[in-house]
């Protein structure tokens, strides 16, 4: 069974988004390393590899609306193989939105659309699939 492992929230105004999620939920915004236009949203304590310490803990990320496939919040599901899940989605009547593409040395990411027009992220940690 594939599990939800991450979420993403697009923004129109980065500072406003960070202030909202920090003020309302106490989340911490952290810029992604390098020259990547992405902000990590830390919702639970992380270890040295920036992975949640608490079992079942999920952190997220944010990007400017329109720079990625989704324009509303989405869940990201950890899969054995992004390429296989894209084929599964298409066979079930969904569609590939973007990717798959490698994200640094962390994993492979893609976005798909389900049969209800919802966009879902797929995450394949490197070393799997």
Report the CATH number that the domain containing residue 96 is assigned in CATH: 3.10.180.10
**N-term to C-term CA, the chain:** 15
The reported pLDDT for the residue numbered 68 is 65
Cα dihedral 90→104→6→38 (10° resolution): -110
> In total, how many domains does the chain have?
1
| Confidence bin at 78 (pLDDT 50/70/90) | very high
Q: What is the pTM of this model?
A: 0.85
Q: Please, what is the average pLDDT of the chain?
A: 91
Residue 115: domain span = 3-125
């Amino acid at each position: 069974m594939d599990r939800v492992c991450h979420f993403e929230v697009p923004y129109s105004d980065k500072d406003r988004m960070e202030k909202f999620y920090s003020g309302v939920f106490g989340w911490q915004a952290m810029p992604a390393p390098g020259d990547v236009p992405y902000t990590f949203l830390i919702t639970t304590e992380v270890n040295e590899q920036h992975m949640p310490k608490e079992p079942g803990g999920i952190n997220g990320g944010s990007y400017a609306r329109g720079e990625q496939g989704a324009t509303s919040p989405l869940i990201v599901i950890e899969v054995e193989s992004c390429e296989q899940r894209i084929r599964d989605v298409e066979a079930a009547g969904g569609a590939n939105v973007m990717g798959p593409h490698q994200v640094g040395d962390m994993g492979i990411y893609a976005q798909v659309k389900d049969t209800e027009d919802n966009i879902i992220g797929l995450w394949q940690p490197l070393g799997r699939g």
